[in-house]
Amino acid sequence: MRTVRDSSGKYYVVVKSSTDSSLVRDPDDGSERYIDNDRLEPIDGASALETAASGVSAPVRQLLAGVHDDVGLGLLADLTDRGPVPVRDMMHEYDQCESDLHGRLAELRAAGLIKECRVAGERGYDATELTVEALATLRAED
């Protein structure tokens, strides 16, 4: 697999190639079609797998990179659905020990998926707009 660009600047992943044409896949929708090779320009240094991933929205890609299991995804879904939640409530409501919860919150915050906030005068967390958008996209696919 390799990345190419057509004359309009659109990127594709080459699935197979012959002397005259190449079967290319559009990363936006996964469709395949043949394009004459003289209309394609190879893109040196571009990863075909990164090109293939470019068809997935940036918020979804960031969410996938930052969430490692269903517990993390569930935490993001809860914050998205409920809005800001005080840490004290999280400690009582989530089945996580304090150290695991704080570690998970730190990872999700570093990934840009949650943000620290104040809730009724207490420290809490809320989903970022990126997370809300990514979950809406993923839920729409169900």
Quick one: 65 and 109 in the same domain? Answer: yes
Q: Which two tokens stand for residue 78?
A: 């809860």
CA atoms of 135 and 109, how far apart (whole Å)? 16
Quick one: 112 and 129 in the same domain? Answer: yes
**DSSP letters for 67-115:** --SHHHHHHHHHHHHH--EEHHHHHHHSS--HHHHHHHHHHHHHTTSEE
CA atoms of 34 and 11, how far apart (whole Å)? 14
Quick one: 48 and 63 in the same domain? Answer: no
How much is the pLDDT for 55? 92
Quick one: 16 and 75 in the same domain? Answer: no
CA atoms of 92 and 79, how far apart (whole Å)? 15
How much is the pLDDT for 128? 98
How much is the pLDDT for 141? 66
Quick one: 76 and 99 in the same domain? Answer: yes
Give average pLDDT by consecutive 10-residue segment, the chain, 142 residues. Answer: 94 96 96 96 93 93 94 96 96 93 96 97 97 94 61
Range(s) of the domain holding residue 79: 59-140
How much is the pLDDT for 98? 93
pTM of the model: 0.79
How much is the pLDDT for 8? 95
Quick one: 114 and 95 in the same domain? Answer: yes
